[in-house]
């Protein structure tokens, strides 16, 4: 497996091998699915749209539907206006969504299509909406695309209608996480008794039940009206700098809603911080149920600390998830030896180094805009005990006989992740179970018979 990856690292300036990121529009498509009765639309040639639908479908094992402008060569020369105008008309006629959320691709961005103008010239039925985000694939990553669509929800939908007052609600921008994670964050807010609006929210959109009746627009997703009213909220809690910060700042700029940017609540510290912010904002107290969960998590951390203490781990994936995961791994007594994201941006490395320094951990490699080929080379030079990342980590895991715990996007080869959270105290417990099991399974498979233990 990956036999041609040499141990010796040579500098690469042009060639990316085995990327640790993908392109913007898929993130925008995912974000758009978090709006109720929304059909994402890809303004480009149709290959992008199919790839993005495919990839999300493989991850969620649920229908992911989106339309496309289906550019031809002629449209590249004359611009994609007619394709988009016709596309919007056909979508409303045939599929009748409440809202279309247009993303762009490297094609329409390179030719300079003015999507906003095209939409203004389109026939949008009464009471329906079309929003758009510019999502050039040659800048940033899928995470950037997610952030850009979230920003567009703010700039094109949110409004402040109450003047100075606020409606007492807190906006939660959950970041690029699983529907199960969004549901868990909502549950925590509800346990506290906080009035909130979460957007985007893909729970009950990309993890729907099988009822024998297909519903193109499932019940989940944040309503356009709720997003509109988010301009009247008392505050925005934005989870994840890369995915949610800019949208929250936009909302502050547009509607004066105070933004609070926190980590994605993965791990004990980040969950504490989110809950603390919730009670600070609402003046409510933390309910017994959540305190109990937290205590159970601490209990588990104490009970099995020896499973992971001092173990070296490589973590890769999307910056917000990896940052929170690194913090949790440190709290578990593990050593984040390699921390890598494919997404560009300086904040990532700064935050990770800061955490490592605080924990007194030296000698770790941290990189943004990295790829999995380089991560593998690092591992060849000094191995780790565990890899935490998405499905693409399985090639390295197999090549080097290192267990892989699947966290992040995409997970293409295992099921259940869209139903069980990794965030919150419950999610942290699930992660501990996964990490411990990974170590113990490997031990069980590889130890000598006389070392084979019944109780571990």
Binding residues among 326-345 for another protein as defined by CB under 8 A: 342
By CB under 8 A, is residue 46 in contact with another protein? Answer: yes
* Site residues (CB under 8 A) for another protein, limited to 264-303: none
Is residue 133 within 8 Å of 195, Cβ to Cβ? no
Token pair for residue 69? 């402008």
Residues 63-82 that bind another protein (CB under 8 A): 63-76
Q: Which phi and psi angles does 202 have, rounded to 5°?
A: -95, 5
Under the binding rule (CB under 8 A), the answer on residue 155 touching another protein is no
Pick the closer one to another protein by CB: 94 or 302.
94
**Count of positions on this chain that bind another protein (CB under 8 A):** 81
Identify which of residues 237 and 397 has a Cβ nearer to another protein in the complex.
397
Cα 347 to chain centroid, rounded: 17
Per CB under 8 A, the segment of 61-69, 126-134, 172-180, 418-426 that binds another protein is 61-69
Burial 374-389 (b: 16+ CB within 10 A, else e): bbbbbbbeeebbbbbb
**How far is 235 from 229, CA to CA, in rounded Å?**
12
CB 402 within 8 A of CB 385: yes
Stretch near another protein under the rule CB under 8 A, chosen from 205-213, 247-255, 274-282, 331-339: 205-213
From 14-22, 231-239, 274-282, 425-433, span contacting another protein (CB under 8 A)? 14-22
Give the C-alpha separation, 92 to 396, whole Å: 46
Q: What are phi and psi of 404, to 5 degrees?
A: -115, 130
416 binds another protein (CB under 8 A): no
Q: How far is the CB of 109 from another protein (least distance, A)?
A: 8
Window contacting another protein (CB under 8 A); options: 37-45, 249-257, 274-282, 320-328: 37-45
Site for another protein in 354-373 (CB under 8 A): 373
Q: How far is the CB of 434 from another protein (least distance, A)?
A: 22
Query: Any contact of residue 185 with another protein (CB under 8 A)?
Result: no
CA separation for the pair 47, 226 (Å, rounded):
33
411 near another protein, judged by CB under 8 A: no
Which of residues 58 and 434 has its CB atom nearest to another protein in the complex?
58
Q: How far is the CB of 366 from another protein (least distance, A)?
A: 20
- Name residues contacting another protein, limited to 86-145 (CB under 8 A): 86-91, 93-95, 105-107, 110-111, 136-139, 141
Q: Which stretch binds another protein (CB under 8 A): 54-62, 150-158, 185-193, 280-288?
A: 54-62
Cβ of residue 150: shortest distance to another protein, in angstroms? 19
Closest approach, Cβ 194 to another protein, in A, equals: 33
Rounded distance between C-alpha atoms, residue 116 and residue 202, angstroms: 25
Q: How far is the CB of 280 from another protein (least distance, A)?
A: 40
Nearer to another protein, 4 or 448 (CB): 4
Helices (H), 220-346: 224-229, 241-255, 268-282, 288-303, 305-308, 319-331
Q: Smallest gap, in angstroms, from Cβ of residue 59 to another protein?
A: 11
Window of 17-25, 191-199, 233-241, 281-289 that interacts with another protein by CB under 8 A = 17-25
Exposed, middle or buried, 210 (CB in 10 Å: 0-12/13-18/19+)?
exposed
- Residues 193 and 170: their CA atoms lie apart, in Å, by 11
Residue number, 66 or 173, with CB nearest to another protein: 66
Q: Taking the complex as a whole, how short is the minimal distance between the CB of residue 370 and another protein, in angstroms? A: 11
Comparing CB distances to another protein, the nearer of 87 and 220 is 87
DSSP string for residues in 85-151: HHHHHHHHHHH--SEEEEEE-HHHHHHT--HHHHHHTS---TT-EEEEE---TTSS-HHHHHHHHHH
Residue 380 binds another protein, judged by CB under 8 A = no
Cα distances from 103 to residues 66, 114, 117, 329, in angstroms, run: 11, 12, 14, 35
Q: Which of 29, 33, 35, 84 contacts another protein by CB under 8 A?
A: 84
For 252, phi then psi, to 5°, come to -65, -45
What is the rounded distance in angstroms from the CA atom of residue 408 to the CA atom of residue 321? 7
């Amino acid at each position: 497996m990956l036999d041609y990856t040499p141990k010796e690292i040579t500098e690469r300036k042009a060639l990316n091998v085995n990327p640790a990121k993908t392109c913007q529009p898929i993130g925008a498509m995912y974000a758009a699915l978090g709006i109720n009765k929304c059909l994402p639309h890809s303004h480009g040639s149709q290959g992008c749209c199919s790839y993005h639908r495919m990839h999300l479908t493989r991850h969620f094992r649920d229908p992911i539907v989106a339309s496309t402008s289906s550019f031809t060569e002629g449209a590249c020369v004359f611009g994609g206006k007619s394709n988009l105008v016709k596309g919007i008309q056909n979508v409303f006629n045939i599929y009748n969504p409440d809202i279309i959320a247009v993303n762009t691709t490297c094609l329409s961005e390179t030719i300079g299509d003015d999507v906003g103008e095209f939409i203004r010239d389109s026939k949008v039925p009464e009471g329906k909406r079309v929003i758009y985000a510019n999502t050039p694939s040659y800048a940033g990553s899928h995470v950037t695309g997610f952030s850009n669509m979230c920003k567009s929800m703010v700039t094109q939908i949110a409004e402040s209608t109450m003047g100075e007052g606020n409606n007492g609600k807190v906006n939660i921008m959950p970041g690029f996480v699983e529907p199960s994670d969004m549901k868990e964050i909502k549950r925590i807010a509800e346990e506290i008794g906080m009035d909130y609006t979460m957007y985007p929210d893909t729970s009950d959109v990309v993890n729907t039940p099988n009822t024998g009746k297909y519903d193109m627009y499932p019940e989940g997703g944040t309503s356009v009206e709720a997003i509109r009213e988010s301009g009247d909220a008392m505050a925005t809690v934005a989870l994840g700098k890369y995915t949610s910060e800019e949208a929250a700042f936009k909302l502050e700029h547009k509607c004066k809603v105070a933004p609070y940017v926190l980590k994605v609540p993965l791990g004990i510290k980040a969950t504490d911080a989110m809950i603390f912010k919730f009670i600070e904002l609402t003046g409510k107290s933390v309910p017994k149920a959540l305190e109990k969960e937290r205590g159970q998590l601490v209990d588990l951390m104490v009970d099995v600390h020896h499973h992971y203490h001092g173990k070296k781990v490589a973590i890769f994936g999307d910056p917000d998830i990896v940052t929170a995961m690194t913090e949790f791994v440190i709290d578990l007594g593990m050593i984040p030896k390699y921390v890598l994201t494919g997404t560009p941006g300086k904040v990532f490395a700064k935050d990770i180094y800061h955490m490592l320094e605080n924990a007194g951990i030296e000698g770790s490699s941290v990189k943004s805009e990295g790829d999995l080929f380089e991560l593998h080379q690092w591992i060849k030079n000094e191995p780790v005990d565990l890899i935490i990342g998405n499905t693409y980590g399985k090639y390295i895991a197999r090549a080097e006989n290192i267990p892989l715990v699947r966290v992040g996007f995409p997970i293409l080869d295992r099921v259940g992740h869209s139903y069980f959270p990794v965030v919150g105290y419950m999610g942290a417990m699930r992660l501990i179970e996964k990490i411990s099991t990974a170590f113990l399974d490997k031990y069980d498979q590889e130890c000598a018979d006389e070392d084979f233990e019944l109780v571990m």
